[in-house]
Every structure is written in structure tokens, then in C-alpha cells.
Amino acid sequence: MASDRTDKDGAAKERARAGSTALTRGPRVRLDQPRPQRRRLLPDYDPEAFGRLSERVARFLGTGRFIVLMTLVIILWVIWNITVPKALRFDEYPFIFLTLALSLQASYAAPLILLAQNRQDDRDRVTQEQERTQNERSIADTEYLTREIAALRMGLGEVATRDWLRSELQDLMKDLGEQRERLAEDARPERDESDR
């Protein structure tokens, strides 16, 4: 009896294992939990932080302070390697190490400057898109207000003004006066006949 139970449990476990691997083809994935981080050969870095650093470097490379500092370093380098005793010199006359250092600095400065320019282009593109959207909204608002003002003008053209009302009332007063006179004239002959 115990062996039957273990056989049934073992068979159920085997079916469950076979069913889960047949459906998922690998370890079970849980959607309510973040994926475990994969190991990478290269270290992770924050692209925004790297971009900000490249902009700072590019800004510094474009200043007069950098040019002055670079000039002073080169002058001191050359003076040191010409005037001090041979035992203390680290770069003899063709200044190969200085050339290498300047080439290395230029090879890093150019991509950093390009990266900073690309980030600035992206910011400019976003700003232009926002300005374009704002301009479209302003144009739509202006057109709407223009239509509303035109509708108001047309509506005001049909509204009775004070002068028009006065002229209409004066015409009505004249008409009423004329009708009163006619009625008075019509009533006089009847009185004249009744007096006879």
C-alpha cells in the first residue's frame, strides 16, 4: 500500500514536471517578480550620468582656462626635459611621451565633445517640437477667437441699437398719432349727424 502511494506520488510529480517543462521550456517564470540580473562581461553604467560627465568635460575643453592650463603644462614639460640633469628627465628631446599624451587627450576629447553635441541636438529637437506644438496651439486659439469675434460682430449687426429703437419708436408714435387723428375725424361726422 505504501509502495502504491509512492508510485502514484512519483508518477504525479513526473507528470507535473513533464507538463511544466513542456509548456515553459525552462525554469518557471514569475511575472510578479523582477528578473534576476544577468551577468555581463562589461560593467553597467548610467548613460545619463556619463552624458552629463561628457558635457562637463566638453564645456571645460572649450574654455580659455583649459587652453591656458594646457599651454602651461606643455611649457613646463618642455622646460623640465631640457633644463634638468639627464637623470631626472623623463622625456628626451623628440618629446615622444608628450606627443603620446596629447594624442591620447585628443582621442578622448573628440568623442566626448561629439557625445555632448548629440545630447544638445536631442535637447534642441525636443525644444523645437515643444515650440512647434505651442505654436500650433496658439494658431488654433487665435483662429477660434477670430471666428468668435466675427460671430459676435454678425450678431451685433442684428441687435437693435439705441438709435434704431428711437427711430422705430418715433415712427410708431407718428403712426399712432395719425391713427388717433383718423379716429377722431371718423368720430366727428357721427357726432355731427347725432346733433341734427
Q: Give me the pLDDT at residue 4, please.
A: 52
Structure confidence by residue, pLDDT tens digits, 119-166: 999 999 999 999 999 999 999 999 999 999 998 888 777 777 788 888
pTM here is: 0.50
CA–CA gap between residue 10 and residue 2 (Å, rounded):
12
pLDDT tens digits, 62-108:
899 999 999 999 999 999 999 999 999 999 889 999 999 999 999 99
| List of E strands, 17-105 | none
CA dist 120 to 53, 114, 126, Å?
Answer: 13, 10, 10
Report the Cα 135 to chain-centroid distance in Å: 14
Q: For residue 8, is pLDDT > 50?
A: yes
How does residue 22 score in pLDDT terms, banded at 50, 70 and 90? very low
| 102/108 Cα distance (integer angstroms) | 10
Whole-number pLDDT of residue 14: 60
Dihedral angle of Cα 119, 121, 126, 131, to the nearest 10 degrees: 140
